[in-house]
Amino acid sequence: MNLLEKIREAGIIGAGGAGFPTHVKLNCKVEYFIVNGLECEPLLQSDKYMMRNNSDEIIQAVEEIGKAIGAEHLVIGLKEEYKDEIQALKTSIGKFNSRVKLHLSRAFYPAGDEQVLVYEVTGRTIPPAGIPLNVGTVVSNSGTVFNIYEAMQDKPVTYKFVTVIGEVAKPSIVKVPIGTTVKEVLEKCGGAITRDYAIIMGGPMMGKRMSKDHIESRVITKTDGAIIVIPEDHYLAQREKMTIEHMKNQAKSACIQCHFCTDMCPRNLIGHPINPHKIMRSIALNEDNKDVLKQAMICCECGVCEMYACPMRLSPKRINVYVKGKLRESGVKWENTTNTFTGNILRDYRKVPTERLVARLQLSGYKRQRLQEGEEINPIEVKIPLRQGIGAGTTAIVNVGDTVEKGQFIGRVEEGKMGANVHASIGGVVSEISDSIAIKAIQAEVIK
Ligand code: SF4
Ligand code: SF4
């Protein structure tokens, strides 16, 4: 089996984003292979943990990927404050005589946005609505690269390292079998220390808020990397509850057209024609200006405009999400009118410092938490979704009552369809098959 076939067999999808199947993404020839080790969102530390503890594996995998896709440049993007991780990777680069280079950047948000990272490393702007391949690059998250190393040893994706932080007794980085409930992960970390709490699955800027009522049904998937527990009355939890009508009314009554949202928009700063202040004006004045509203389609939803830039605390990002949804329903697609995009010369001065962003989000206390490491969860039951990430779902190839071993192939993507295979994350007996495969452990086992 070649590397791509091994990656396909192992069921690898992008570990840090929307979950695009990795064997499809790497089926190309490019100039640059870039590893995203920047852990874009504040508070998350799972990727750092892996780079610190598995630098040998990551460097070996990057070399193999580089050969497979013919990449001339192999680059790992990191923040310059990641001293231990930089040291570990440098040691591994020396040990394997690797040609991998480290690209160090300041701690700013969203340094790990794929388009921002490509711009920082290559100076090239990916066209709006485009992908890194358009400018001769491929980007993979460091967690994905670690999974590729495992695939090289014929080990499929069966677990995730998850950062659990915030209002929990033992903030930790935990090794979690895919399909474990969020409830069980929280219990492993001593449980929530606040009675009324909400959960953010992912980072505070782009993660999904979830009520605590769902912790028993929501399970960890291949794309999860963090659970943040916040008080129910926290600014971030309350903000999510605002209706679109309320946001539109706010835009009408309070947008002062200062255009700070546009000045600080990371996509505008790399040369994309997106101007959130104009979208806000169009909404406020009921202008229905299609040329302006269409710009919402190239918003990456990073949240800089509303969580950091706007002095009136308005919601340009969520207005964009709303407008984007409406345009998609009407079949509108983004089309570029030029191939030339030029970054703003003031970009370096307009980057959002992570520390200041964390303070603005009222999360500084969590940033100071020391995370425990090395804990593993041994669940007595998992529910492994048949669809995780972008593409088609898988079809179960086991039956209720079957005994399965950890790592066994249990869900297959149909031939010719885009998706990712699914494997048992614990050994046990298949107890139910629906949109997920439930496995009950026969006996407690330790993840190796
Ligand atoms: S930053 Fe806020 S007030 Fe200023 S233009 Fe943008 S939405 Fe309006
Ligand atoms: S969320 Fe706001 S800042 Fe981010 S890309 Fe969209 S418009 Fe720009």
Q: What is the pLDDT of residue 374?
A: 86
Pick the CATH number of 3-152 from 3.40.50.11540, 3.50.50.60, 3.20.20.120, 2.115.10.20: 3.40.50.11540
**Separation between Cα atoms, residue 16 and residue 294, nearest integer Å:** 27
**CATH 3.40.50.11540: which residues of the chain?**
3-152
- The helix (run of H) or strand (run of E) holding residue 244 is helix 244-254
208-211/159-166 β-pairing: unpaired
CA of 32 to the centre of ligand 1 (A): 37
Q: What ranges make up the beta strands (E) of 261-363? A: 352-353
Q: At what angle do helices 46-53 and 142-152 cross, to 10 degrees?
A: 50
Q: Which residues contact 95 (CB under 8 A, 6 or more apart)?
A: 56, 59
For ligand 2, mutation pick of 205, 239, 301, 308 (most atoms within 8 Å of CB): 301
**CATH 2.40.50: which residues of the chain?**
379-448
For ligand 1, mutation pick of 310, 318, 350 (most atoms within 8 Å of CB): 310
CA of 352 to the centre of ligand 2 (A): 13
- Which residues of the chain, if any, have pLDDT below 50? 445-448
Q: What is the pLDDT of residue 396?
A: 96
Instruction: Please measure the distance between the N-terminal and C-terminal CA atoms of the chain and give it in whole angstroms.
Output: 24
Q: What is the pLDDT of residue 393?
A: 83
> Which ligand places an atom closest to the C-alpha of 350?
2
- Ligand 2 atom index nearest CA of 301: 1
Q: Is the separation of the CB atoms in 16 and 128 below 8 Å?
A: no
Q: Is the separation of the CB atoms in 251 and 314 below 8 Å?
A: yes
Angle value at C-alpha 79, between 315 and 102, nearest 5 degrees: 135
What residue ranges line ligand 1, CB within 6 angstroms? 255-261, 276-277, 280, 309-310, 312, 314, 316
**Separation between Cα atoms, residue 30 and residue 28, nearest integer Å:** 6
CA torsion, ordered 130, 136, 142, 143, to nearest 10 deg = 60
CA of 293 to the centre of ligand 2 (A): 13
CA of 392 to the centre of ligand 2 (A): 29
For ligand 2, mutation pick of 269, 274, 323 (most atoms within 8 Å of CB): 274
Phi and psi dihedrals of 146, rounded to 5?
-60, -40
Q: Using alpha carbons, list the distances in angstroms from residue 20 to 76, 79, 145, 156.
A: 20, 24, 14, 16
What three-state secondary structure class fits 264?
A: coil
**CATH 3.10.20.600: which residues of the chain?**
158-234+362-377
Q: What is the pLDDT of residue 443?
A: 65
Q: The tokens of 228 are what? A: 């943040």
**Separation between Cα atoms, residue 392 and residue 411, nearest integer Å:** 12
Is 265 close to ligand 2, i.e. is its CB under 6 Å away? yes
- The helix (run of H) or strand (run of E) holding residue 166 is strand 159-166
The residues with which 74 forms a beta bridge, in sequence order, are 33
Q: Is the separation of the CB atoms in 364 and 118 below 8 Å?
A: no
- The CATH code of domain 379-448 reads 2.40.50
Q: pLDDT tens for residues 370-398? A: 999 989 999 999 999 999 988 888 999 99
What three-state secondary structure class fits 143?
A: helix
CA of 258 to the centre of ligand 1 (A): 5
For ligand 1, mutation pick of 280, 285, 295, 319 (most atoms within 8 Å of CB): 280
**Separation between Cα atoms, residue 222 and residue 205, nearest integer Å:** 20
**Separation between Cα atoms, residue 63 and residue 148, nearest integer Å:** 11
Q: Return the CATH fold of 158-234+362-377.
A: Ubiquitin-like (UB roll) (3.10.20)
